[in-house]
Amino acid sequence: MEIKVLFFASYREKTGIKSDYFEINPGATLGDLIQIISRRFPNIKTDTSKIVAAINEEFCGHNTVLEPENIVALIPPVSGG
């Protein structure tokens, strides 16, 4: 199945895209998806285990299983305020 992924701030600049769809196997986790993304964009982060992501606007751990229609966002360390 395909999962939509959003990229913001430094991740958007490193990948050159704001969003794209990535093919994953049924039962794949957020961590699996992040590995797929980092294979396509090796420069995104040196230690991919430290990439933080949200599923449907909620922060989730890498072992979270993805469901159809999930929207994933990769969230760089925040710096609002």
Q: Which of residues 16-55 bind other proteins (CB under 8 A)?
A: 50, 52, 54
68 scored as a contact of other proteins (CB under 8 A):
no
Cβ atoms of 62 and 36 within 8 Å: the answer is no
Strand order in the sheet with 53-55: 19-23, 2-7, 71-74, 53-55, 58-60
Q: Closest separation between CB of residue 65 and other proteins, Å?
A: 18
Name the residue nearer to other proteins (CB basis): 39 or 50: 50
3-state secondary structure of 63: coil
Q: Which residues bind other proteins (CB under 8 A)?
A: 6, 8-10, 12-13, 50, 52, 54, 57, 59, 61, 73, 75-81
